[in-house]
Amino acid sequence: MKIIVEKDYESMSKKAGKILIDTIKANPKIVLGLATGSTPIGLYKELIRSHREDDLDFSNVTTFNLDEYIGISKDHPNSYGYFMYEELFKHINIPMNNTHIPHGEAEDLEEYCKYYDDLIQSHGGIDIQVLGIGENGHIAFNEPSEYLSIGTSIVELTDNTIKANSRFFGSEGEVPKSAISMGIGGILKARKIILLASGETKAPIIGKLLRTKGISTMIPASFLLLHPNVTVIVDEAAYKEMR
């Protein structure tokens, strides 16, 4: 695991942005794995800036998102589909057909999970996967538990995650209780992984992750230790416990 510590959220986002921009320039047909949440917004702003100022071309880029809530429509302002459109897709020249978000309203969700994994593989797999991390160590919506899913699956959100995500909804009661999420095995299939963490609330889990001696299903992000090409980019605040 390569660790990069940046001063603040802005420089963390710029650093991650540069890695992605350089890779897209080198491989315009790249397959990106994308995350939602507060953390990657600055990175997406960097991609938009590069598209506007340097003509960074997304016309051949393909994207797959990690997860989506079950029980809210894709047009709901808190759906991850809506988030991706507002924060990235509508500002760049990516054909919407090239973007993929798990379909939380699929009729047969179990069948759909298999289809989503197959779809990723039919595009040659993910070249770079962007990840955030939950305060409880979740990546995508793989929550700490005795077993972690290998492929895309339906997951129940923990109280901790519902509480953390309630900031985007009116109240905790409005946060969906379940989601479709790529599994740990799917994430580990990506050729390169970039995990971002910013702010003091992430300091305890970043400390735990970087100090852990092995893997534990109770720290889902610890499975990244099995991957040969992971870069963790954090800001000073998230790195606080390692000083």
Residues that bind ligand F6R (CB under 6 A): 35-39, 66-67, 132-134, 138-140
DSSP state of 77: T
* Distance in Å, CB of 134 to ligand F6R, minimum: 4
- Nearest distance from residue 137's CB to ligand F6R, in Å? 10
Check if 103 is active-site. Answer: no
Nearest residue (CB) to ligand F6R, 61 versus 140? 140
Q: Is 138 labeled as catalytic in the residue annotation?
A: yes
The smaller minimum CB distance to ligand F6R, of residues 140 and 219, is found at 140
Cα–Cα distance measured from residue 151 to residue 131, given in angstroms and rounded to the nearest whole number:
16
Q: Shortest distance, CB of residue 163 to ligand F6R, whole angstroms?
A: 11
Q: State the Cα–Cα distance between residues 37 and 165, nearest whole angstrom.
A: 9
d(CA 91, CA 70): 26
Edge-to-edge order in the sheet of strand 67-69: 67-69, 178-181, 153-156
Residue 22 identity (one-letter amino acid): D
CA gap 81, 242 in Å, rounded:
35
Catalytic residue among 68, 143, 235, 236: 143
Element (H or E) spanning 212, and its range? none
Name the β-bridge partners of 32: 63, 128
Annotated active-site residue 108? The verdict is no
- Separation between Cα atoms, residue 187 and residue 83, nearest integer Å: 21
Q: Which pair of tokens denotes residue 89?
A: 């897709």
The residue annotated as part of the active site, out of 136, 142, 235, 236, is 136
Catalytic residue among 138, 165, 235, 236: 138
| 59 three-class SS | coil
Of the candidates 67, 68, 87, 127, the residue annotated as catalytic is: 67
Q: Which residue of the chain is nearest ligand F6R when measured via CB?
A: 132
Rounded least distance, CB 35 to ligand F6R, Å: 4
| Neighbouring residues of 86: CB distance < 8 A, sequence distance ≥ 6 | none
Nearer to ligand F6R, 53 or 169 (CB): 169
HSE-up (13 A, CA, CB side) for residue 55: 0
Q: Which is nearer to ligand F6R, 30 or 206 (CB)?
A: 206
Q: Is 55 a catalytic residue?
A: no
Judge contact between 80 and 113, C-beta under 8 A: no
Q: Considering beta carbons, is residue 17 or 132 the nearer one to ligand F6R?
A: 132
Shortest Å distance, C-beta 32 to ligand F6R: 13
Catalytic residues: 67, 136, 138, 143
